Structure formats: structure tokens, C-alpha cells
Structure 1
Amino acid sequence: MTAESEEKRRHRETVHLARDAQSGGQASFGALYERLTPVLHSWASLRLRPGMRGRVEPDDIVQEVWMRAHRVFDRWDSSRSPFRAWLLSVAKNVMLEALRHVRRPDAAAGGVTQSSKAFDLADVPADVTSLSRRCARDERLLGFVECVRELPAGDRMLVVHCGLEGDTCKNVAVRLDLTEAAVIKRWQRLKKRLEGMGVPGLLSDEES
């Protein structure tokens, strides 16, 4: 099976799982969680600012995102946005809330305590917590994140926007003030390099 057909297969599977989960299929929602939690964890690891660590960890972002996604799943419209892109839009809102929290004077004062954490995750189901923590120990994911961190800033943003968030090269070109052709060329080069790290399904399988 070629790399291109594998991407298309994964894209179809993600669409099918998301639609079934939105119709009430809990097993499909669980499968989506298994499939996309490594993406969320890698994204959160790359987007969290150093000053946020301690009060907010990638695990916290992942768990809060899935709790919220489950609550507002009925708002996802497959005709307007791929599920992966929608989920990452939820993640961006969670990240912004976390940033606002750590900037509050009362949160910045004193040491890190349970009450100073950005989110109350006491009611997160055990399976959600278990998978996010497993991602935090996954050597392949850790290696991927470290590799991306060492890239030049522009390439790092291409991986975040095109590879993890699933945005189109056209949109990313506007965001980064580049031509669409330049983004396509650079992203194809980066994607080929990163896919060789052996983390299947991590980079976007959405069809731009």
C-alpha cells in the first residue's frame, strides 16, 4: 500500500468514526480518542510555553480537551470542518484559557498547588488519564517532539499547523506570509523526513 493510499484510508476511517461517535457510538468515540490523543499530546508539548509548565502540563491539556470535546460534540459539522481540525480548535481554546490562568497575579504568586492548576481534572475518567500519561512516556512521541523543537522556527510552525492541526497549505501560507507553493514544497520535505520516525498517523491524514 502506498503512503498516499494509506493517508486516504486513515482519513476515511477518521471521518467514519467521528460521524458514528456523534450519533452516539461510544466505542467510536473511544477509538477516536486512541487515534488522536498522540496528536494532541505532541501538539500541546510543542505549544506550551516554558513558563506555563508546572501549572499546566501536556497531560492537562489533553484531558481537558477530550472532556470538552465530548460535551460539545454535537457542534461539530462535518461539512464545515474535518474532525481533527475541529478537535484542535477546541485545543486552541483550552490552551488560551491555560495561558490566561497562569498570567493571573494570584496564580503566579506562591508555589504550585492543586488550586493553582489551570484545570480541575478530578472527574476525568481513568482511561482518559491513562492514555494521556502513556503518551507522555512514549519514546517515539518524545523523539518526535524533540526533533520538531530543534527545527528552525518557520519549519516548526509548518509542522504544528499543517502536520498536527491539519490546516491547509493555503491557509498556512497566509498565516506565515509565504506563498502557497513555498509552503507545499517545504511541508512535503518536512513530512517525508518526519514520517521516517515511525509514528504512524501522527501527521495529518486530512485531505487539504
Structure 2
Amino acid sequence: MLVEGQPRDEGALLAALRAGDEAAFLALVERHQAAMVRLAAAYVGSPAAAEDVVQETWVRALRGLDRFEGRSSLKTWLYRILTNTALTHARQAGRTITFSDLAGADDEPAVEPERFRPASDREWAGHWAVEPRPWRVESLDDRLIQREVLGRLQAALDALPPNQRAVITLHDVEGWESKDICNVLGLTETNQRVLLHRARAKVRRVLERYFDDEAVNER
């Protein structure tokens, strides 16, 4: 049996799951369900399809517990099953996503080149010509638009390529460490950094345009 429904370490959790302890399984689901849905959505798009992926992942994980050898953490093993399942669903739905896509990075610049000073600028070549603008919430009126900002943010995430969306979801939304992201997605540290940088730049670009439009409308 579990103490307060939650094993204190992974070994105890694994033993409880293998023994068919329902409380252990429910605790695991409660801990990871929401994050798994968000990650699955990076590959399959719709929330409904993401829920299907996660449900299938739980079934596969339970069936495969006896084959789990502990070469990685239980969390890493679980999310690898999720990623495999999501990629399979994506291919079945006609979305062309492969593991090689996860490791790659597109050729487009993370930030528009015109925002940097040209090479001909002898003193400040490569420096910002137009610096990123900070965002501040200073009044009640500002806070009232937060719902719309969150909507724009989610739309920006939805528009990212699956590889970038997966990385930024795990790193910035779920708070994972880079090494864990690399282990789950099969990325090198360099690729993970590049994908995260590109994803952040694209999301920031969307939000900057939104705030610039708001500033124009207020004039």
C-alpha cells in the first residue's frame, strides 16, 4: 500500500504499479496527464487527438511495465512511449513528422536579419538595430487584455513546427531540464538549444507585433 497515495521514490512507485496498486497509477496520471496532453498536441495538433494519444500511452505503459529495465527514469520512459505514440498517430493522420524532424532545425533565421546592424557598420556590426521591447503590466486596463495575450501566445505555440513546439513546451511550460528533454526527444544538447531559441524568437515576434498594434491603436 502507498503512504498517502504516493510512493516516496521511483522504486516504490514502480513496485506499486507492478503490483496493480490503483492509487499509484492514479497518482502517476495526476502528476503527468496535463503535461502529456500538451506535448502530444505538438505532434497531432488537436486537443482531442492529443487526449487519444495520452490514453493509448497509458495503456502501453501499463502493459510494458514488466519490460521496463530502469535504464532511464520512469518519467523518461513514459514520455518516450508518448512521443512514439504521437508520431504514429501523426503519420496515420497524414502529418509528415519523423524523428529526423525532431533533431533538425529549419533554415530561417530566429530573428529577422534587419533587426541587426549590417556588417558594413564598423563599430557595431551584428549588434541590435531594433532591440526587443520589454512587456509590462502596469495597470488594471493592461491586466484586462491578459486573456487575449494568452490566446495569442497559445496560437503562436500552435503555429510552431512540431520539433520546436515540443522543446519549448517541455522547457518553458513544463520546466524540464535540458538533459531530460534531450533524452526524451533524442536530441543533442546543441539541437535542443537551437530549437528552443527559434521557438522563443517566433513566439516573441508574435507578441511584439500584438503589443505594437495595441500601441498604435491607443494613439
Q: Where on the TM-score scale, by shorter chain, does this alignment land: which range? A: 0.3 to 0.5
With normalisation by structure 2, the TM-score equals 0.45
Normalised by the length of structure 1, the TM-score is: 0.47
Query: Greater Rg, structure 1 or structure 2?
Result: 2
Which structure ranks higher in relative contact order (CA pairs < 8 Å, sequence separation ≥ 6)? 1
